[in-house]
Structure 1
Amino acid sequence: MADGYHHGNLRAAVLERAAEVIEREGPYSFSLRSLAADLGVSHTAPRHHFGSREGVLNAIAVEGFQVLAERLRANRRAGGDFLEAGVEYVRFAVEHPAHFQVMFAPALLTEDDAELEAARSAAFAELTTGVDSVADDVLAAEDRPSAVVAGWSIVHGIATLALTGNLDASGVRDLFDDTDLLAVTRRSAGLLLGRRAPRE
């Protein structure tokens, strides 16, 4: 955040700055005091909104699950299927790497936080609903819960491999004709659903 914080929504400014630090240095690399110093406010100001460092991390996770749910909901309403929901999941991860990192790190979070639980549940409800778009001749009804787990595992794994640099370091991504991450996701996750991308 350039030139620190001047006025306006301090809560949003703290979350934005924390996300920048997490993306660059990881979730253990900030304190409320350091965020306050970066923003040019008193060291007690962020505590008024978040209470503690853990409060900031919880708020980042809540924000992340809310954005993810909105994206999955928009995909569903636009007629996107389960595969495209997975693509949106990966797109979210690479566009919000700090949020993604915190959202799935229970040790960083206060798990009994009601707002966090509500945001997480809303996101996974959208992901679960997406499996209904899979045709009955592809997936039997009793296999749909397993498809949710398998689909989530694939796209979460792709996102994690991409964010950690392992997808590129392994050279696996270069095996595809189209190395765009979302294209790789469509082809890889599409195998689960018996849906193959058209040949170029």
Structure 2
Amino acid sequence: MTDPEPHSRGWYALQARERGGYFHPWKRALDGPEPETTFTSVLESLLGPTVRVLEAGCGHGPDAARYAGRVARWTAYDRQPELLALARANAPEARFGLWDGRLPVPAALSGPFDLICSRRGPTGVIPHLPSLAAEGARFLYVGPGLGVPKAETRLAEVGWSVLCEWRERVRSWLPTQEDYRLRCEFMNAVPDPTLWNREATERGLPYFEERYTVLAAAE
């Protein structure tokens, strides 16, 4: 029996069952700051005791567990029931709903929300921002790569504009050939059988860890 394709529903179920959540399976060493630090810092600056938050693609709930006690209400959703079960256990102060981003929006996720956020979750929440957001709400997202496909276009289509954006690229190292293989599989890429011998050093194989962070609001 072959393993399910990465990022398929079966693959996410396997992650929940065998890893206890959604984690990068490879080890790495960074030559600079963690590129998701910007997202974390901006997120924390937007929280407060009166803020109502909706988190898209919450996975096993690490952000809900960390921040639900700091806001008026933290509501989160994911499309994967196995991950949601873990999130509910990890973050009892938050509210959760099962949703794949399609209409209709479940009643458990009805707004309005002052902040809609997602840490490497789906951009499919963007078309629903007008119906989910309170007046003056913000949308905060971080995704892998230096640009999230169609993010700015999709925001413009619903009348939201980019307030700030950050593109961060940090040189990183995969210490073993197995870590290289695991990252390739996670990224749906085919490992190059000659790359390790050609480019690996005593520290391992160099690559760049990249993140794109965007903060947006209604125009």
**Pairwise TM-score range, normalised by the shorter structure:** under 0.3
Larger Rg: 1
TM-score, scaled relative to structure 2: 0.26
Which structure has the highest strand share of the two?
A: 2
If asked which structure has higher relative contact order (CA below 8 Å, sep 6+), I would say 2
Which structure has the highest helix share of the two?
A: 1
TM-score, scaled relative to structure 1: 0.27
